[in-house]
Structure 1
Amino acid sequence: MIEVRALSKRFGDKLAVDQLSFTVKPGQVTGFLGPNGAGKSTTMRMIVGLDRPSDGVATVNGRAYREHGAPLRQMGALLDAKSVHKGRTARSHLLALAQTHGIPAARVDEVLGMVGLESAARRRAGSFSLGMGQRLGIAAALLGDPAAVILDEPVNGLDPDGVLWVRNLLKGLAAEGRTVLVSSHLMSEMAVTAEHLVIIGRGRLLADTTVDDLIARVAVGSVLVRTPEATALRDALVAGRATVTSAEPGLLQVSGASAAEIGDLARRHGIALHELTPRRASLEEAYMELTRTAVEYQ
């Protein structure tokens, strides 16, 4: 389990993380989301001990990460796929990490196979594509067979097959009871991968909730309406301060009014309805609504 309690980080006069608290529980994928400059990377660096907090604490399985005798067995991390000596081969890079923890060479070959880099094991990391570098970083994170994994933008540079592979990998790790924290800007991917979300903006916690609860709490969905009297219904809806758009004759997309309210309004005006379909808001819409006032760089 990863616990963050009243965590703050100041760089000069810039408060990057502001009294942030959340818990990442085992057995589920937790998405760590926020606009650029929100403090996600700084928070993850503090969790793994690369940055020292100005205030507060971050623990992994009950202790600060640096206090564990064999930290790679407690939590594996991918924070920067480029932080590899470019002259080393993929296998020698992982072997050097393994030797710091007494991890056998057989495990190095095993994780290379897990991430699909067996054929590139003897290639120098400097020749790797972005996607191959991501796979090597994931292999390093999994090297110690850790109880927790923290990954920063793991699908960056991967093709669709690679994205699907990471999605299944994360779900598989969570199903094994591990703690999984993953950051991403791809809302569509988080919608099908994460069960829980921690969202921050300007260094502060905005939401600590499930995907479904966030959508229900933040986003207002729309209603698809099909009617032979679209103009009359549109005028009535706009008069009631609903927002109405139309992609084709006889079809209206309505925001700001529920399906029941639209149906009642149509009945009062004697307008026939041929379709009345509520549309559930997407995670992206919910996220944009939640963070619209917390964007650091407009």
Structure 2
Amino acid sequence: MQAREQLRAAKQRRKGDRLVIACQEQTYWLVNRPPPGVPNVLEQGPERGSNNANQVQMSQSLDFYKREIEWSRKALGRTRVKSSICLEAFLTFSHQRGPHDPILAGCLPSNPWVTDDDAYWAMNAPTVAVPTKLRVERWGFSFRELLDDPMGRAHFMDFLQKEFSAENLSFWEACEELRFGGQAQIPTLVDTVYQQFLAPGAAHWVNIDSRTMERTLEGLHQPHRYVLDDAQLHIYMLMKKDSYPRFMKSDMYQGLLAEGVIPLETKRRVFPFMRKPRLSSPSPALPPTSGEPSAAGSAAGGDEES
């Protein structure tokens, strides 16, 4: 609520007022910057303690003031994001991920941690026949969300095979296996990935630029688990900027989104603020709703029974 009101007030201000407020905020942080030797709570964690023995004594020499002037000049020319843009991005993020938050929206069909029903885990297993609609929607949040989900990565592989570019995702998966695999298998895995994807005439050759190829070939002399990071990043950005947007617009993804399972709530949720509010308690000033006995009728019934 506070972020929404701040964003609304910022949009209602004139352009000149917004510029003045931005300059005032920038000046405030320049003036209130902690001097050298003073602990900065914005940069240090709770482990800093109260020990001031390692603090650097502030020097009043000419070099000290020269460094301060140079730092201030750089700070004035540094670009900063306006608070209104940050608030708008925060609201967009909250509205987008709100229905996917198990605390705010709840777990459908029920919360397996407080009930004996494991249907939620079965519906969101790594491989299922039909994924849920919320799961398919999360693939559109970012390319990383799609790759982190085994189900989404499998459908993305099917899409790339139709476009004859499945070797890009296969190469990315091979690099992930190399990065998180065992230490003893690293030389063998590096040679296998190179012969399959990067060597001249490879069966599943991937297209990377010459500079990345040069750095990769230099690292192959002493192979380690991060030797293919540059090539992997190049292929990752290629898929993110080219293949991923077309997958989001494809009929395959739209069909998965339309056929996604929407589980129904089978058990009452734990926290009452997750549910829609029920009918309020009967008020003597309002007539009782249909199906609910009035207070007077209940009292009369109790007198008759007594």
Q: TM-score, normalised by structure 1?
A: 0.22
Higher strand share: 1
Higher RCO structure, 1 or 2 (CA under 8 Å, sep 6+): 1
Higher helix share: 2
- Bigger Cα Rg: 2
